[in-house]
Each structure stands twice: as C-alpha cells, then as structure tokens.
Amino acid sequence: MYVLVVISSLLSSLVTFYSGFGLGTILMAVLAIFFPLPQAIIITAIVHLINSGLKSSLLYKSIHWNIALKFGAIALIAAIPGALLFKKLSFLPAIQDYSIFGLFLFRS
C-alpha cells in the first residue's frame, strides 16, 4: 500500500512539474482509496507543500513576484473559511457509494 502511495506521489508530482496542475486530482484519487478523506486531504496538502517548495527553489529566477503575491494573499485569506467549511461538511454522510468491479471504494 505504502509503495503505491509513494509511487503515485512521485509520478503525480512529476506530471505537475511539467503541466502545472494535476497533483491533487491524481493523488487524492489514490489516497482516498487507502485513507479516510480527512487524512487523504492532509497527506495531499503535505505533498503539495513539498512539491511547491521544490518547484519554487528550482524555478526561483522565473517567478513573477507581483503575480505570486496577489494569488498568494488571496489563497491565504480563502484558506481559513475553506478549512472551516471542510470541518463542518466532513461529518456529513456520503451522498453516493462508488464501486469498481463490485469493490466498494467509498461507503456512505
């Protein structure tokens, strides 16, 4: 299980490095199979932090700081209500059960 999580983290980080998106989409799908949703989100956030730090250190000279500061400030402001909303909604039961080949991935 952990090998699959590590491999998917590395591959999705590599895809994100070149495309600029996709880390959360790929990684959340894999992690949600093995972990409860709140833990999967935290693990994805940690991988995002590490990935963003590495990208920033590698591409430091190419950063347009005026744009990065505008987006960063808005993201910091929106993170607090987003976290509070997630905290309230995480206790709701699932609306839909998902299965692949008869195996339940998520149960409400």
Higher-scoring residue by pLDDT: 80, 36? 80
- Choose the most confident range, by mean pLDDT, from 3-12, 41-50, 65-74: 65-74
What's the chain's length in residues?
108
Gap between the Cα atoms of 8 and 1, Å rounded: 11
**Whole-number percent of the chain with pLDDT over 70:** 86
pLDDT (mean) for 5-12: 84
**Distance, CA of 89 to chain centre:** 17
Return the bridge partners of 98, or none: 106
Gap between the Cα atoms of 40 and 32, Å rounded: 6
**Distance, CA of 50 to chain centre:** 11
The pLDDT confidence band at residue 96, using thresholds 50, 70 and 90, is low
pTM recorded for the entire structure: 0.63
Gap between the Cα atoms of 13 and 51, Å rounded: 6
The pLDDT confidence band at residue 99, using thresholds 50, 70 and 90, is low
